[in-house]
Amino acid sequence: SISVSQSEDPEQAAWSYVQSLKRAGNGTAKMLRQSKSKLPDGTPAVEFLATWVTKQNAEQTTQALTASKDGHSVTVATHTWEVGLPAKHFFLSLKFE
């Protein structure tokens, strides 16, 4: 999934994204870990891992990257249904402009 928000702070945008997962699901979502990062061009970013439960009670794991530039944050995420994490190489192909 891809989400765009008005935010200069990728950490704040990441937390907002987890809150969105909580609202989209059954009210259960938590950030498991996050780490500050930068894209190759120096754009501030945060990588994070979250778990949440859908309205149908399916457990999901979400791995995401949030980057902020020019007053906006973009979050790109992969979601897995009650299984392991997606292949990490997915995130190596992302470019943010």
For a pLDDT cut of 90, what percent of the chain falls above it? 57
Q: Render 22-33 in DSSP notation, one character per residue.
A: HHHTTS-EEEEE
In angstroms, the CA 34 to CA 92 distance is 17
At 11-44, the pLDDT tens digits run: 999 999 999 999 999 999 999 999 998 999 999 9
**Among 86, 20, 82, which residue's Cα sits nearest to residue 57?**
82
Q: pLDDT band at 97, cuts 50/70/90?
A: very low
Spacing of C-alpha 83 from chain mean position: 17
pLDDT at 85 over 90: no
- As a 3-state breakdown, the chain gives helix, strand, coil percent values, each rounded to 5, of 20, 45, 30
Range 43-67 average pLDDT: 92
pTM over 0.85: no
Residue 50 has pLDDT above 90, yes or no: yes
pLDDT of residue 96: 47
Closest CA to 14 of 75, 59, 95, 92: 75
